Amino acid sequence: MPFFFDAFPTLRDTDLMYGLANVRMSYRKLEPFKIFSSRNNIDSYRITNKELSFKTDPESISYKNEDFIQYISDHEKYSSIQSDFSMKGPYGWVYEHESLVLGRKCKAGLGWASENDIHVNFVLDDIDMKQVVTKEKTVSFDLIGTKETSITSRELRYLYRNRNNEKISSNVQFWNKGKPVEPPWETDPDTWSLYKPKSEITGAQATTKAALEIQPTVTNPAAATATATAEEMTTIEELGLEML
């Protein structure tokens, strides 16, 4: 199993925390999460120039924000979200394409954390794994109003797709009911067997195609045998040998 069980017995104040927003807030009341603040949530990281220029309490902004900005700027897929229109809302930043921006921002955070030795603590409490693997879109009331809960689902699917990436998998600790646990696909393999990542399907198809291409194609067995025999006779004659 690439993900380590109880990998980070001692939490660090630089750790990131993932999971449903209301659950993350409740965890911060528990040991050993009391050292965390809003800066330990990827939500607090700013990604557009407008966000960065907005004057606010510096304590609410992670000191790692500039590193995260650079990571997104250099990323082929995620850099596009920096140009999305954003405005300050009552509970945080609101984007024109909110679901797309937040989803990519959170997945970028997982990749960035693995590159910078920033541990990720992913709380699984109250997550419906069936909805995660089937990509079912549901609506819940979160801190910024009504939104799809699929963002957390995307994060989990991202980790599943990268479960064999040691740099990412060794950097994540899952939690449930306040205790470190194994990855959800290890504890509930039947449910996770329903999730078929496109990348893995494409890879399997490519492997099958390659295997078929190296197999000899025989449309006329008799002709193939005659050709093989003729080639053998030519080799014998070239060697100056006689058939016995």
Per-residue pLDDT tens over the stretch 99-130? 777 778 888 889 888 888 889 999 999 999 99
Check residue 223 and give its pLDDT.
52
Among 27, 127, 152, smallest CA distance to 15 is for: 27
Letter for the amino acid at 30? Answer: L
CA 225 to chain centre: 52
Confidence bin at 219 (pLDDT 50/70/90): low
Check residue 5 and give its pLDDT.
62
Confidence bin at 233 (pLDDT 50/70/90): very low
Check residue 196 and give its pLDDT.
92
Check residue 40 and give its pLDDT.
85
pLDDT tens-digit readout, 13-72: 888 999 998 999 999 999 889 988 888 887 777 666 566 665 555 554 555 677 777 877
| Sheet order of strands, 172-176 included | 16-18, 120-123, 172-176, 179-181
Strands 145-148 and 172-176, sheet pairing: unpaired
Q: Is 120 exposed, middle or buried (0-12, 13-18, 19+ CB in 10 A)?
A: buried
Check residue 141 and give its pLDDT.
43
Among 144, 151, 153, 139, smallest CA distance to 88 is for: 144
